[in-house]
Structure 1
Amino acid sequence: MERLGQNQNEASQCCCPTPFFNSSAASPNINNRTKIRNSSSECRHNFVATTSSSIFPNTNFTNHESLPSLHESFNEFNKVYPQYSETELVDHVRAQEYHHLSNHTCLDYIGVGLFSHSQLQQQQQQQRYHGDASKSQLASTSTSTSNQYPGIPFFSLSSKTGNLKTLLIHGGQESEFESAMRKRIMNFLNISETDYYMVFTANRTSAFKLVADSYQFQSSRKLLTVYDYESEAVGNMISASEKRGARAISAEFSWPRFRIQTTKLRKIIVGKRKNKKKKKGLFVFPLHSRVTGTRYPYLWMSVAQENGWHVLVDACALGPKDMDSFGLSLFLPDFLICSFYKVYGENPSGFGCLFVKKSAISSMEATSSAGIVNLVPQNQIHLSEDSSGTDLELEQKTIYSTQEEQGEEEEEELSSMRSFSGPRQATESGKDEEEAQSHRGSEIEEANLKKKSVAQGSENGGFEIECRGLDQVDSLGSILISTRARYLINWLVNSMVKLKHPHTEEFPLVKIYGPRVKFDRGAALAFNVFDWKGEKVEPVLVQKLADRSNISIGYGFLHHIWFADKYAEDKGRVLQSKKEGKGNNNKKKKDRDSEVGISVVTAALGFLASFEDVYRLWAFVARFLDADFVEKERWRYTALNQKTIEV
């Protein structure tokens, strides 16, 4: 027992920084490099061993009623990960700033949030009682400064005309509000204005399409993407690129752990080496899968750059402070895309950000560009006296006024640009986090007050935009956030595989796609639930039942899966058509391949995730051990969704 405790302590304390890749430049001393590598490897091995052996050791659960209670599970969790208690600042922030999550398990938001729920409520209150001096004063008592820009976090979007290349070269009109927001975001991401230009886009999908519409595919014809799941944004990029003459290629992922097929990808990147100076095309690279949680070696960016590719980094799936450890200055990708959302767990609307390296502008063409937007602050939106000041109403009024000015032709464009992804689809809906307020004496509040995000809008009278979501993440820091997520996601993975059907030789209830317990896996999980006969429960049904229990999860579609010979039987058993029964016989083989994969349930842990969140998901999934429960819900789902019901 003493040795086990010692291993637990070692596993929880090790930081094990992840090297970008094994390189002789990492250290001039070979012996030192070997020691560091061995120490890191041992640390990671200890973490995996401790998690696997100490969480419900030698135990399988075959009945949902036999699960240990939340309190019992949390006590055991703390024994395995004693340093989890050092992340309790997150719990404090959640209780003070996100009380709407007290009865809601939110596992379908991925990305970075701008504002906190309390901040949103304060601004709504100020708007609701605008004009009433006493009530306005009461609503603004917690405001830290009197010169804050009014109306945050209320803003909407309006389309911006012109093409991307011209805008980057000559600039464009930018309001004080937009300038302040841009500087705040670039500071948060640690991106230098010396190296990059930034534009606001309607959403993540618009940012991808902007690059597709502007990149020089006439001369650099290849588009290489690395996504193990179906993405609306990437799909639109591929479609737009192919119309402009690009040849779209995708990396493949090995079954069952969804690692990159390195031999094939390297062969595509290196090519025939006929002319190294000529650019091959655009390499689109996410730092990890926002569905399976698989992390990808940063080495691929370096290999692509060395072999004549422009590189686009998709940072939308990054954790809140992952940019700090990304090593942006080492790679300096030509393009970088991320997205921000207003309020974690409530408001998925927001905007996308496209960063273009200044030296990469020459690789772009001056084509028509749709998707660039202006941020319109609330104080420029005229509300009626009986207005409630909701985001929906503000957005509708902004759309109306903008359409009157821009005419009938842009009306459809504006409408489509505001069709943000729904909060239930984790593959496209990036959703996020926020900040802390009230109890000014707390440690987090003091840190936030010391580190204000002040963006100067003009030389004479600067104003500050208070983005509590961003400030909160800055205050907590990358180590605390990543450590907390590591403990929670690995406990969840290990606990899921402990659920087994009774009387069926312990047939597993849950199938996990991607990495299992792993030190540096991402805080996202793709899985499916199977009944006692081995038949998959449709992810949409699982999601709907989770909603009924106030648990928000998503679903996705895994594709581009490569099966080794030893898994040949699995291929026919697990793959399915994305549109079964739609008649794909006349489609090209490439199109058919892209529509074959695996539909999955997805769960994503934001920085506000707690142990109670992962426990509630685990307990909900355990309900499917009850065969009667599964059959009853399947029948109900079928009855409600069929067009006619025979009586």
Structure 2
Amino acid sequence: PKSVFTRAEDLPGLESALASFLAEHPSFESTSAVDETRESDYPHLRAANRACFDYCGFGLFSFTQRFTAGRQRSSFSLVSAGSSGSLAAQAAFATTEPNTLQSELRSRVLDYLNVGDGSYSAVFTASKRAAFALVADCYDFRARSKLVTVYDHESESVKALTTAAVRSGGRTCAARFRWPTLRLCGEQLAAELKTRGKGSRLLKKKTGTAGGTAGGRRRGLFVFPTQSRITGTKYSYQWMTMAEKHRWDVLLDVSAMGPRDMGSLGLSLFRPDFIICSFYKIFGSDPTGFGCLLIKDSSMASLRSSSSSPGIGMVRVVPDLGDDEELAEDLDENDDIDDDQRERQQQHRPEPLIVCQGLDHANTMGLNKTNCRIKSLMDWLIASMSSLFHHIPGSSSSSLSAPSTATKRWRRRPLVQIFGPKAQIDRGPAVAFNLYDQKGALIQPTLVQKLADRSSISLGCGVLSNLFLEEVVFSDHSGGGAHSGSMKKLADLPVLTATLGLVSNFEDVHRLWTFAAKFLEPEFLTGELLR
């Protein structure tokens, strides 16, 4: 909307807003097949009347598939991989293990991520955090003195890596982000990647070449997300090129990418040593799933034996026989068989095939239409949230020449502050924002999240970090002026975050807009706090 709204009651209804939205984004109608898929395969969203903005990762199954007769093809359990070897050994075993549910799911995951060419081995983990913990436990930080991370928010997963590096005597560095744009401080990051450590100087002395020569000592681990999980900010893939050129091992975090964004990553050009992603079961119904750690075969040598418990965090995907209705019926018909016979019957039963309709829906939609849909919805959501203002009465003023014409002046204060890039091309499927009251005070994100949940809207929360303000210095010298000075570190900031999924629709973003507009009325917050 191009208007400014100061009262919730003035917002256009769903039908009127949708008509305006389609007029501004005519290409959105080409994605109508997704709306049909949502109705037929994700009916729980309408039945529960819930708008979900808190799912991050890739969805495996549809709701209809999971809770109909074909559920045995979308059901699995995770069991510990145990302590039967190192991470490298587990990855090698997972690659060679044939004709199992795990091997079929592994092949499906690698194909979906566009790395099914045999150059990567994969292990499943209990979560994304467990995948990071595996790297932290097995990466040889003692031989590599530096860890560089690029995150504009707090991450428990990254903390595990930082702790491991410090414990091994390594040096850590977190990239900086300029306030208030949250743009990456490229000069600082480039300097960290290019600076040669002791290992590089020794290499140059021995070989007569710079640290970028092949076969030389690696400088450390560069942990790079394709985009921010909280703000949606996208980062240039050229940072991977720079890191590889200057002999860094690269861990690529793709867990915040959109449904088909891996198709645009270009892994034929960029070959990170490690890739971490996560999968959940059903959008809007079941956020449980697993993490996945991909290891480039040529990078296995950079891993060492676990410093704690071998195999910690690694899991195996096995059939969930408790949900296999057909198997249950077969067993019920043979109640008189003994336990040994029953066990042999289960063992000899062929492994069930797994069908990932969630991934199929994303593949069917394709990269261009998926991006078109998500970008259109995100563009409208940001513009709409930015149109909400508190209407604040100001002091009356009068003209010196006409004191009798005193008029009431009004000031406007924005209700919503959007964090991150304003240009849609620089943003992924997530946006970070906060709400402020009439006095400009922050309304705590956790409180807004709780009130949103009462309205059947699921939002995420996070904490922005590594924020720096570039202080401006004014020079009194002739011809001088304002120029950049030092960088001042700012306090961390809690924020709300909304992430769009493949089957998010216009009604979802319109509901979030109308919910936020309720905070324009002071009575709304007061009344909710009294409930």
- Shorter chain as normaliser: what TM range? 0.7 to 0.9
Corresponding residue for 1:640? none
1:616 pairs with 2:506: no
Corresponding residue for 2:146? 222
Amino acid at match of 1:516: K
Corresponding residue for 1:599? 494
**8 A Cα contact 1:166 1:366, kept in partner:** no
- Counterparts of 1:628 and 1:381 in 2: how far apart (Å)? 49
1:302 pairs with 2:208: no
RMSD: 2.5
- Counterparts of 1:496 and 1:165 in 2: how far apart (Å)? 48
Q: Which string of whole-angstrom CA distances, capped at 9 and with x for unpartnered residues, describes residues 312-368 of structure 1? A: 000101111111110011011000011111111111111111100011011111223
Corresponding residue for 2:365? 476
Corresponding residue for 2:5? 61
The counterpart of 1:157, out of the listed 63, 78, 94, is 78
Deviation, 1:473, is 0.8
Deviation, 1:462, is 8.8
**8 A Cα contact 2:319 2:352, kept in partner:** no
Q: Which string of whole-angstrom CA distances, capped at 9 and with x for unpartnered residues, describes residues 482-539 of structure 1? A: 0001110011111111100012511000111111242341121101000001111000
TM-score normalised to structure 2 length:
0.82
Q: Which string of whole-angstrom CA distances, capped at 9 and with x for unpartnered residues, describes residues 527-566 of structure 1? A: 1000001111000110011001110001100000010115
Amino acid at match of 2:195: G
1:167 pairs with 2:90: yes
- Counterparts of 1:558 and 1:359 in 2: how far apart (Å)? 35
1:502 pairs with 2:444: no
**8 A Cα contact 1:62 1:499, kept in partner:** yes
1:106 pairs with 2:27: no
Q: Which string of whole-angstrom CA distances, capped at 9 and with x for unpartnered residues, describes residues 87-146 of structure 1? A: 101100000001111111011111111110001111xxxxxxxxxxxxxxxxx4xx6xxx
1:515 pairs with 2:421: yes
- Counterparts of 2:11 and 2:89 in 1: how far apart (Å)? 61
Identity, % of aligned pairs? 41
- Counterparts of 1:288 and 1:222 in 2: how far apart (Å)? 22
**8 A Cα contact 1:501 1:508, kept in partner:** yes
Corresponding residue for 2:155? 231
Q: Which string of whole-angstrom CA distances, capped at 9 and with x for unpartnered residues, describes residues 257-280 of structure 1? A: 111100100000000363413211
TM-score normalised to structure 1 length:
0.68
Mean CA deviation greater in 73-82 or 242-251: 242-251
- Counterparts of 2:261 and 2:236 in 1: how far apart (Å)? 14
Corresponding residue for 2:356? 467
Corresponding residue for 1:270? 194
Secondary structure at 2:524's aligned position in 1?
Answer: helix
Secondary structure at 2:287's aligned position in 1?
Answer: strand
- Counterparts of 1:631 and 1:563 in 2: how far apart (Å)? 35
Deviation, 1:169, is 4.8
Amino acid at match of 1:522: G
Corresponding residue for 2:279? 340
Deviation, 1:302, is 0.2
Corresponding residue for 1:208? 132
Q: Which string of whole-angstrom CA distances, capped at 9 and with x for unpartnered residues, describes residues 435-490 of structure 1? A: xxxxxxxxxxxxxxxxxxxxxxxxxx896421111111111101110000111001
Deviation, 1:247, is 2.1
**8 A Cα contact 1:212 1:240, kept in partner:** yes
Mean CA deviation greater in 111-120 or 191-200: 191-200
Contiguous gaps of at least 5 residues in structure 2? 204-210, 330-349, 394-410, 475-488
- Counterparts of 1:553 and 1:618 in 2: how far apart (Å)? 13
- Counterparts of 2:38 and 2:166 in 1: how far apart (Å)? 45
Corresponding residue for 2:32? 88
Deviation, 1:369, is 3.6
**8 A Cα contact 1:152 1:378, kept in partner:** no
- Counterparts of 2:448 and 2:20 in 1: how far apart (Å)? 28
**8 A Cα contact 2:59 2:358, kept in partner:** yes
- Counterparts of 1:381 and 1:110 in 2: how far apart (Å)? 26
Amino acid at match of 1:168: A
Corresponding residue for 1:371? 313
Higher strand share: 2
1:311 pairs with 2:250: yes
- Which of the two has higher C-alpha Rg? 2
Contiguous gaps of at least 5 residues in structure 1? 1-54, 123-139, 144-149, 388-460, 569-592, 637-647
**8 A Cα contact 2:153 2:230, kept in partner:** yes
Between Structure 1 and Structure 2, how many residues are aligned? 458
